[in-house]
Amino acid sequence: MTALYPQILKSNVQWSPLTLWRWWREGLLGWLPLTIRRKLAGSQRQLIIEPDTNGLALFRQERDEREEVTRQPWESLSRETLRKLVRTERPTAIVLRMLANRALTRVVTLPIAAAGNLRQVLGYDMDRLTPFSAQQLYYDTLILERQPEQRRIRVELSALPRAEVDATLEALAGLGVTPDIVDVGGGRKGINLLPVEKRPRRGVWPRRLRNSLVVVSLSLMLAAALLPLWQQRTLVIRLQKQVDILQRDSSQVLDLREQLEKAVESSRFLLQKKQSRPPVIDLLRELTVLLPDNTWLERLQINGDALQLIGQSSSASALVGLIDESKLLGGVAFTSPVTNDRRTGKERFVLSAQVVLEP
């Protein structure tokens, strides 16, 4: 999407807050149309001043487009003319671009620990790398390659004799122009040989305002992209809660239904049991009617459909015929021999019968 992404994806790129900001900003801006991106990013116009022995050549550079503005000899230059041109162009930066044949360029390899303070590290070693001391040069550094395995970095050193640059800066100051950047023709982008203390601080508030607008715009875009997702998430959570409540309610309904079915089944079972045999009170009433007065029961046992009678009678043998006449009992028989009870003078009997439904 942007040229920054390949750099971010490299394993040897060192992350920093500035790198993260640029990556995040460029990533969001990449979704916008080109015209809107340019408005949000603001103008990136540079006014490039290239001096030579004859005079000054001024170029307008905006992004990758470079256009000559004017070319004037030294003797025809005036303070008012140059300042008027600068006001007309309204550049974000004024660049003094020196001739490449006056520059010193070296590529050196340093420990990776030096990456955080390259200017100071190379300043100590300047007299070995160049014929000049650090005080005699304007210089800057640029990391070309990181080698994490060897814990080393390759750095390009660019330098210009301070005397030549100061002479040109003084001439431009006389014309009312103070450059923001000093670099070399044909050099790499991002180089600024001008020390930080010599760089003018201008356009700070417009840049801050523009950056603030960019941050606000990108934040609104991000919010617009995330708000539907957040609303969907909120809706899903609310619906899930309702589903959970319904599931609990349905579970309770199923439990109640199961209990009801069990109760109905138990009632049906009891009803079937009741319908399958006569009530005990009816059996007792039937036996009371059938048994003669000279007969009494010592024990009456009902076990399911089986009925057992234990008792004494004056004529036990007649009991089988009497009980067999009942519509509630059948299969009457002695389960043991009849015996005489000497104490009562009665016949002791044990009878069994089958309880049947009344037709």
Q: What's the mean pLDDT in 5-27?
A: 57
Supply the mean pLDDT for the chain: 81
Report whether pLDDT(87) > 80. yes
The string of DSSP letters for 120-178 reads HHHHHTHHHHSSS-GGGEEEEEEEEEEETTTTEEEEEEEEEEHHHHHHHHHHHHHTT--
Q: Which pLDDT belongs to residue 350?
A: 92
Residue span of the structural domain in which 166 resides = 43-202
What is the band of 204 on the pLDDT scale with cuts at 50, 70, 90? low
Q: For the segment 46-70, what is each residue's pLDDT rounded down to a tens digit?
A: 888 998 888 888 899 887 788 888 8
Q: For the segment 211-248, what is each residue's pLDDT rounded down to a tens digit?
A: 676 677 767 777 777 788 888 888 888 888 888 888 88
Report whether pLDDT(197) > 80. yes
Structure tokens at 96: 């003094």
113 found inside a domain: yes
52 found inside a domain: yes
Give the pTM.
0.50
Of 133 and 14, more confident = 133
9 found inside a domain: no
Query: Among 257, 276, 295, where does a domain finish?
Result: 276
Output the CA angle 291-294-298, nearest 5 degrees.
Answer: 70
The string of DSSP letters for 65-122 reads EEEEEEEEEGGG--HHHHHHHHHHH--SEEEEEE-GGG-EEEEEEEEGGGGGGHHHHH
Burial class (CB in 10 A: 0-12, 13-18, 19+), 196: exposed
215 found inside a domain: no
Task: Please give the Cα distance from 44 to 53 (Å, whole number).
Answer: 29
Q: What is the CATH number of the domain that holds 94?
A: 3.30.420
* One domain, residues 231 and 112: no
Report whether pLDDT(6) > 60. no
* One domain, residues 257 and 122: no
Q: Which pLDDT belongs to residue 178?
A: 87
Q: What is the CATH number of the domain that holds 331?
A: 3.30.1360
The string of DSSP letters for 238-274 reads HHHHHHHHHHHHHHHHHHHHHHHHHHHHHHHHHHHHH
* One domain, residues 168 and 112: yes
* One domain, residues 55 and 96: yes
30 found inside a domain: no
Q: What's the mean pLDDT in 317-334?
A: 86
Q: What's the mean pLDDT in 169-184?
A: 89
Q: What's the mean pLDDT in 245-254?
A: 81
217 found inside a domain: no
Task: Please give the Cα distance from 170 to 176 (Å, whole number).
Answer: 10
* One domain, residues 167 and 309: no
* One domain, residues 197 and 96: yes
Domain total of the chain: 3
Q: Which pLDDT belongs to residue 358?
A: 57
